[in-house]
Amino acid sequence: MLTYLSLFLTYLKIGLFGFGGGYAMLSLIQHETVEVVHWGETAPWLTQSEFTDIVAISQMTPGPIGINSATYIGYSVTGSVLGSIVATIAVCLPSFLLVLFVSRFILRHKENPIIKSIFKGLRPVVVGLIASAALLLMNRENFSDNTFSIAIAVVSFILVYFTKLHPIFIIILAGVAGYIIY
Amino acid sequence: MRTAMKISAMKNIYLQLFTSFMKIGAFTFGGGWAMIPLIEREVVDKHKWISREEFIDELAVAQSLPGILAVNISVLVGNKLRGVKGSLAAALGTILPSFVIILLIAMFFVRIYDNPVVASIFKGIRPAVVALIVAPVLSTAKSAHLNRWTFIIPIVVALAIWLCGVSPIWCIILGGLGGYIYYVLTHNASIESKKKGGEQC
């Protein structure tokens, strides 16, 4: 019961503070699931490599990463479908309430200099959030050796940054490479 | 007869909202920005639920609100058409495909996780995932138009979270607050300089 409650509250927080899109939200999800030890637990919900695998699965399946991670973690933490439902509803709930109550206000005051300056202040923070997610993932669990795994990361980076190849293909290629190498 | 048709058409719009957004949810990989052209096609071009200008406005609002972008847009469109019930139908459509797919994977994946073939595939995938997250760091840094001073902010944020385990929530709150304080300071300065200018005249 306690697990369900902390799952609900955690994903509510993620939904409420998830500014800046999927990748920025990732740092929040990562912090809450890999770093924080929740009520009634002895360890964080996930290890770094489990988290990385969930990101990989989210990239390969349709839908937003916020939903995918909520559904996956909800199930893996509680071992029941109800956990998935609780986490997924929690991550969407702030969107509902804010759209119903705040959207008209934002639309009317879109050009308001105060609101604009708040979002201006958030922009560089979002860059830092994504960077922190990347830094936290650069560890032994994800880079099992200093040769092949670094080579895979470098090649993937070049492909995604310079060729704009879709992430799915990069993950598939890396999976094939992993199968051949390891 | 005519009222019956009207009622069925009204009922239909919930179903249409649901199926339209379900299509969008089921066929876009990566979420967020990848979904927007599809949403635009369904909502503006095909069903003509809202005009293109309205869609651009909604998009701006959806972006400024926290949460999942695709869910925000679906709730906005659903709410505009049929209020709370409409927004529920649209959001449920967006969520359902990923929910079902991920749930099946979560149930199944646990069992194959220890399989050596699966383990070696994921050993290869993990470094690639890290690279996939490094790339948007650079592209968002570019689009944020950082100058010599604001350049420090993402570095401090990343180090605070990475090394000190600071919650990203604090960084978000401080970022918004910082933007507001900067506005107040520069705004007061510009009023004072205007006043000074006035006195000189």
- Whether the CB of A37 is below 8 Å from some CB of chain B: the reply is no
B187 vs B9, which has greater pLDDT?
B187
**CB pairs < 8 Å spanning A and B:** 363
Q: Would residue B66 count as lying in a domain?
A: yes
Interface contact A92-B67, CB threshold 8 A: yes
Q: What is the pTM of this model?
A: 0.85
Could you read off the pLDDT of A93-104 as tens digits, one per residue?
A: 998 899 888 877
> Each residue of B57-93: b (16+ CB within 10 Å) or e?
bbbebbbbbbbbbbbbbbbbbbbbbbeeebbbbbbbb
Query: In this structure, are residues A63 and B32 in contact, taking their beta carbons and an 8 Å threshold?
Result: no
Q: Summarize the confidence of residues B69-89 as an average pLDDT.
A: 92
Of B60, B76, B157, the CB nearest to A132: B157
Minimal CA separation from B197 to chain A, in Å:
23
Interface contact A71-B97, CB threshold 8 A: no
Q: Summarize the confidence of residues B188-199 as an average pLDDT.
A: 63
Radius of gyration of chain A (CA): 18
Residue of A nearest to B115 (CA): A179
Per-residue pLDDT, B157: 95
Could you read off the pLDDT of A108-118 as tens digits, one per residue?
A: 887 888 888 88
Q: Would residue B20 count as lying in a domain?
A: yes
User: Which residues of chain B make contact with A71, given a CB cutoff of 8 A?
Assistant: 98-99, 102-103, 106
Minimal CA separation from A69 to chain B, in Å:
8
Sign of the four-CA dihedral B28, B31, B37, B38: positive
What tokens does A55 get? Answer: 């990101």
Q: Summarize the confidence of residues A20-38 as an average pLDDT.
A: 89
In this model, does residue B198 exceed pLDDT 70? no
- Whether the CB of A43 is below 8 Å from some CB of chain B: the reply is no
Cβ contacts of B75 within 8 Å, gap of 6 or more = A95, A96, A99, A100, B87, B90, B91
Per-residue pLDDT, A20: 80
Per-residue pLDDT, B2: 55
Q: Would residue B132 count as lying in a domain?
A: no
Least confident of A90-94, A107-111, B75-79: A107-111
Interface contact A57-B129, CB threshold 8 A: no
Cβ contacts of A96 within 8 Å, gap of 6 or more = B75, B87, B91
* Mean pLDDT for chain A overall: 90
Of A57, A115, A178, the CB nearest to B123: A178
Q: Would residue B42 count as lying in a domain?
A: yes
CA B5 to chain centre: 37
Q: Which domain holds residue B17?
A: 1-114
Three-state DSSP string of chain A: CHHHHHHHHHHHHHHHHCCCCHHHHHHHHHHHHHHCCCCCCCCCCCCHHHHHHHHHHHHHCEECHHHHHHHHHHHHHHCCHHHHHHHHHHHHHHHHHHHHHHHHHHHHCCCCHHHHHHHHHHHHHHHHHHHHHHHHHCCCCCCCCCCHHHHHHHHHHHHHHHCCCCHHHHHHHHHHHHHHHC
User: Which residues of chain A make contact with B146, given a CB cutoff of 8 A?
Assistant: 124, 127
> Each residue of A49-82: b (16+ CB within 10 Å) or e?
bbbbbbbbbbbbbbbbbbbbbbbbbbbbbbeeee
Interface contact A99-B98, CB threshold 8 A: no
* Mean pLDDT for chain B overall: 86
Could you read off the pLDDT of B19-66 as tens digits, one per residue?
A: 999 998 888 776 667 788 888 888 999 999 999 988 888 888 888 889
Per-residue pLDDT, B11: 59
| Burial (0-12, 13-18, 19+ Cβ within 10 Å), B46 | exposed
Per-residue pLDDT, A143: 92
Per-residue pLDDT, B148: 84
Q: Would residue B182 count as lying in a domain?
A: no
Query: In this structure, are residues A57 and A72 in contact, taking their beta carbons and an 8 Å threshold?
Result: yes
* Number of domains observed in the structure of chain B: 1
User: Which ipTM was obtained for this model?
Assistant: 0.88
